[in-house]
Amino acid sequence: MDDSLNKAFSIDEIRSLLPWLREVSESSELALIRLQQNGSADRAQEQAAAIIQHWAETVAKLGGMPKQPFTVDFDSGHDFFCWEYPEDDIYFRHDYNLGYQGRHPICDGPIKDEEVNP
C-alpha cells in the first residue's frame, strides 16, 4: 500500500483497524510463546524472525508503521498516534522525532476524531 506511506490517519480510521491489529498481534505473540516453549534452539531464532516479519508485513498492509514488535505508529499529519498491543484503544501519540520515549497521553477521557484532527 504505497498510498499509506503518505496518508494521515484520523483516530476513527485507526480505531476501525484495531480489531485486525489486535488479532495479528495476539496470534503472533502466542506463536512466539509456543516457539519458546516447544521450539528447538537451532531454529527458534529463525522462526521467531519469520513470525515478527509476518506481523510487520500485516501491519504495513493495514497502513501502520510497525516499530518494535507489537508497537505501531500511524501518521496523523503532524505527529504519530502510537498503539501497543494489548491496548484496547488509541491512548498515546508522540512527535515525529521523539519516538516511543516521547509517548504521551492524547487526553484524559474518551476522544473523538474532531478533537485530535480539527
- At residue 99, the pLDDT reads 85
Answer whether residue 3 is part of any domain.
no
- At residue 37, the pLDDT reads 86
Instruction: Dig out the grid coordinates for 50 from the structure.
Output: 519469520
Instruction: Dig out the grid coordinates for 73 from the structure.
Output: 505508529
Answer whether residue 4 is part of any domain.
no
Domain count, the chain: 1
The residue segments making up the domain with residue 79 are 9-116
Helix axes 41-61, 11-38, angle to 10 degrees: 170
Answer whether residue 53 is part of any domain.
yes
Q: For residue range 12-36, what is the model confidence (pLDDT) as tens digits? A: 999 999 999 999 999 999 999 999 8
Mean pLDDT of 64-90: 95
Coil, helix or strand at residue 81: strand
